[in-house]
Amino acid sequence: MDGKIVLIDGHSILNRAFYGVPDLTNSEGLHTNAVYGFLNIMLKILDEEKPEYLTVAFDVKHPTFRHEMYADYKGTRKGMPEELKEQVPLIQEMLRAMGVRLVMKEGYEADDILGTIARQAEKEGLEVSLVSGDRDLLQLATDRIMIRIPKTKRGGTEIENYHTQDVIDKYGITPPQIIDLKGLMGDASDNIPGVAGVGEKTAVKVLTAFPTVEEAYAHLDEVTPKRTHDLLEKGREQAILSKALATIKTDCELDYSLEEAHIPELFNEKSFAMVKRLEFKSLLKRFDKKQQEQATKHLQIQNLKTKEQWQEFFRHLYQSNPSIVGVGFLADHWASEGARKKKAKKSGGQLAFVFDDGDAGIMEEHTGDQEKEYPFYGISVSYSAEDEVHTACIMAGEALTSAEIVAELRKLVETIDHIAVLGWKDMLHHMTPIEELSREHEAAGQDGFPAATVEEQKTLFTKIADLEIAAYLLNPLKDTYQVDDIARDYLDMTISSYAELFGKKRIAELYEEETQKDAMMQYLGQLSFVPCLAYGAVREELEEQDMWQLYEEIEIPTAYYLYQMERLGVCADGRVLTDMSASLQGTIEGLEKDIYALAGEEFNINSPKQLGVILFEKMKLPFAKKTKTGYSTSADILDKLRSEDPIIPKILEYRQVTKLKSTYADGLPVYIEEDGRIHGKFNQTITATGRISSTDPNLQNIPIRMELGRQLRKVFTPRRNWVFLDADYSQIELRVLAHLSGDPELIEAYRENKDIHRSTASKVFHVSFDEVTDLQRRNAKAVNFGIVYGISSFGLGQDLNVSRKEAEKFIEQYFETYPAIKTYLDGLVEDARNKGYAKTMFGRRRPVPELSSSNFMQRSFGERVAMNSPIQGTAADIIKIAMIRVSQKLLEEGLQAKVVLQVHDELLVETPVEETEKVREILEQEMAHAAELAVPLEVEVEEGSNWYEAH
């Protein structure tokens, strides 16, 4: 028999991969880093070796010993961490899916099995590569058996290779003598005791004179020096035992033949499904498109070419009267004109987008005498009838104008019970004519779906089924909720993602490539086919987890009103930004001079390497922390140094001011569009707690703790003859904590409208309310807010600049003052540990897999998450409810005012001057009653001619 076989020690390589690859989890919460590392090592070996045969051996139980007579040693081996233990069946399932021959047998360790197969393969003329991290296996090395030992070095995997001569060169002994070496010197990593006091050099010297342990003891009187003689004499029993432990059996009785080990097609449909399930995106490139597309071979798509075909498809759809219809759009993700300009500026070129005039020549259409353009290329529609799913696609501009397509979709929404989509907010933008996008200050959104009144909107919300939002609620820890994710998680179907099909190309680019038309049509069909099929399973799971009401009454309306905010935008004064940029530049230059004077020389302040040399080598400041690239000058290090030298506060201020200039004063102007407004993007499926995030640009992250940052709010202004009303919840998370914990002391303080931080200080420090000092109030404030975030004594100590012991005392005093809070927070952690998730007042769940980690730091993080998520998540739900209620009330009252920004606990409303008092009343009323708590929800409403004045 000719050829080569690769043998892999399963547990050994899995263990090595676990400690060599950072922790990974998939959307099911499964740890996958060891599996991922194992596959990469195996595929690297296979790519190098190109063998004909492959076998992986596992211990039946791990850990185990090969000799029952040494069972007493079993208990001394260190057990597997839980995160690694759960990956053993995963890697075995993955290898079986790939068709890899696995061997395991009760009573034999994996290296006994590998030793037996290696010797058998060698006899049959095969070249053998045996992969393991266990150096015991070096005893098997011959000229035809190569032992390969992976090592992690400089963040990558290097492999040491050993034939007979390599072992001799490395250890000075032959491969068979490895067991004698282990007998004398032992192996702490494998709990082989050896002879106490004998190291590698001594053992090799003994074996050079006497080739085996037995011969050494037969000639013990000849062993020199005397110390070695005495050690061997004392450790005779241990030496014999250790050699036996290290000896690998090569005559195991196995039900195994080499023919079974032929390498099959590893990258097949089953393994593709496993790779998708485990979310190993970098491995997907090993599967060709044919294999990737097999999972959707049953998807039959009608490519509608004429108006008659379109009408016939919808005639049959309406006759079938389905309760659920899936709709998918072929379009690039919505981005404002400002965001596109920013991207073009970063790339150094001009970007053509689907919204741009003249793109592909399909967007110029006429309905009657009015020209309308819609930012999409095509749609797909799917419905189920007669136990069959019907899917049809049509490209805008080929048979129908996009205006005609949108008109049909409006009819569909009015007629069908549920419309299943992925990314409803984006769809609303796609169904909005381009020339009307944010050009007029009017009731936004009515061109997308027919919802001119609050009642029509509420009816619409019951019809829309956004599976992206639903999947986010069911698992908010995932990175993506795309069509392939939904298919995998809810239909047990493996399909190709957009990136796998098209890489980084945009739809606008693909549309120009004739060769991509079939793939685009297939992908477009999936965008309606998958939501249509998955709706039932997703809804059932939401109902089982008691989140359907949260989804239908909070999340779906939130998406609609976020779309309105994106479309409407907020006015920004570019002249103010220009002036601010010049002012900040002057501040920066002044800070540079001060820093150079304090350092005694000029250097690049933005270079961590140069700054580190100045601070820690020239100025000899403490807390120096060396990294691979130099000294760390991170924010936490500089914070520790703040009181050490006057240069540090200057550097920290310099960093803040340069960020303000680059990110905001210089960065915001590119986002201002022709209408003078910034149309930022609000993200609903990013944060694990349910908070809305903001991008392109991030208007929620303006650093308002410093005056220069607050000044930036002057940039944002209402339209002429209008004003801003800014409504902000006061201490909403602390109020939520009071309600959820039921602590009578905290509830009473809020009901009596006391200064909560002064009240806490009074109770914690045992002084009267009027005698509380400013320092005591500041400390109490830090503890109040720190408790909400599950702060540790270490973190609080850093915040207050006190010792950890003092901080610990503050926390103890706080919990003595508010015992119900302590009970509540401890209960949250225990509940999350038992159930696997934390839960808000409105039923939102946040999985906390870290609580089951064997790593202390991970568990501690999980405990903080378990304490914080119900509080922060409830606050996030309340501000969403407030935004919905305010938006609906403004519409009901026939007011022109609109919500233009939502920033965490704050709503910014743009209103005509004459509507000010009515809008103020609506904000105070609707926000205060967004949730009924045991304490009042206090709302502060300020008015101003810009955002700075209104806040």
Q: What is the DSSP string of 8-61?
A: EEHHHHHHHHHHHS---B-TT--B-HHHHHHHHHHHHHHHHH--SEEEEE--SS
DSSP label of 838: E
Q: At what angle do helices 856-892 and 819-835 cross, to 10 degrees?
A: 100
Relative to beta strand 365-367, strand 370-372 is antiparallel
Instruction: Read off φ and ψ for residue 837, nearest 5 degrees.
Output: -155, 160
Instruction: Read off φ and ψ for residue 899, nearest 5 degrees.
Output: -75, 125
Reading the block at residue 84, the tokens are 């690694």
Relative to beta strand 388-395, strand 418-421 is unpaired
Q: Which residues pair with 371 in a beta bridge?
A: 366
pLDDT at 446: 42
Mean pLDDT, consecutive 10-residue segments, the chain of 951 residues? 89 89 80 91 90 92 45 50 88 94 90 93 93 89 92 68 92 89 79 84 87 87 86 86 87 90 89 86 72 58 89 93 93 80 58 30 36 76 89 84 86 92 91 57 45 88 95 92 90 82 85 83 92 95 96 96 93 92 94 94 93 92 81 86 90 92 92 91 93 91 78 91 95 94 91 88 86 87 81 76 82 87 93 94 93 83 92 96 97 95 94 97 97 95 94 80
Q: Tell me the HSE value of 179 on the side-chain side, using a 13 A CA sphere.
A: 16
Q: 821-826 — which CB contacts under 8 Å span 24+ positions?
A: 821/737, 821/741, 821/743, 821/746, 821/787, 823/741, 824/740, 824/741, 824/742, 824/743, 825/741, 825/787, 825/790, 825/867
CA dist 811 to 503, 777, 797, 821, Å?
Answer: 52, 14, 10, 12
Helix (H, G, I), strand (E, B) or coil at 873: helix
> Locate tokens 């009323």: which residue?
925
Listed in sequence order, the DSSP H helices in 248-332 are 269-278, 289-293, 307-320
Reading the block at residue 786, the tokens are 């720190």
Strand order in the sheet with 939-944: 898-903, 906-912, 722-729, 939-944
DSSP label of 662: I
H helix or E strand, kind and range, residue 900: strand 898-903
Our CA angle for 186, 188, 194, nearest 5°, is 20
Decide: 164 and 143 in contact? Cβ < 8 Å.
yes
What amino acid is encoded at 467 in this protein?
A: L
Decide: 322 and 385 in contact? Cβ < 8 Å.
yes
Decide: 662 and 691 in contact? Cβ < 8 Å.
no
CA distance 523 to 521: 5
What amino acid is encoded at 263 in this protein?
A: I
pLDDT at 445: 38
pLDDT at 339: 79
Helix (H, G, I), strand (E, B) or coil at 75: helix
What amino acid is encoded at 167 in this protein?
A: V
CA distance 642 to 650: 9
Relative to beta strand 301-303, strand 388-395 is parallel
pLDDT at 356: 28
Decide: 737 and 746 in contact? Cβ < 8 Å.
yes
Instruction: Read off φ and ψ for residue 555, nearest 5 degrees.
Output: -70, -45
Q: How would you classify residue 127: left for phi > 0, otherwise alpha for psi between -120 and 50, otherwise beta?
A: beta
pLDDT at 361: 31
Give me the domains of the chain, ranges plus CATH numbers.
Answer: 4-172+257-284 (3.40.50.1010), 174-248 (1.10.150.20), 289-568 (3.30.420.10), 573-667 (1.20.1060.10), 754-856 (1.10.150.20)
Decide: 796 and 782 in contact? Cβ < 8 Å.
yes
pLDDT at 191: 74
Cβ burial of 144 (10 Å; 0-12, 13-18, 19+) is middle
Q: Which residues pair with 380 in a beta bridge?
A: 328, 393
CA dist 13 to 21, 143, 628, 729, 773, Å?
Answer: 12, 23, 28, 54, 61
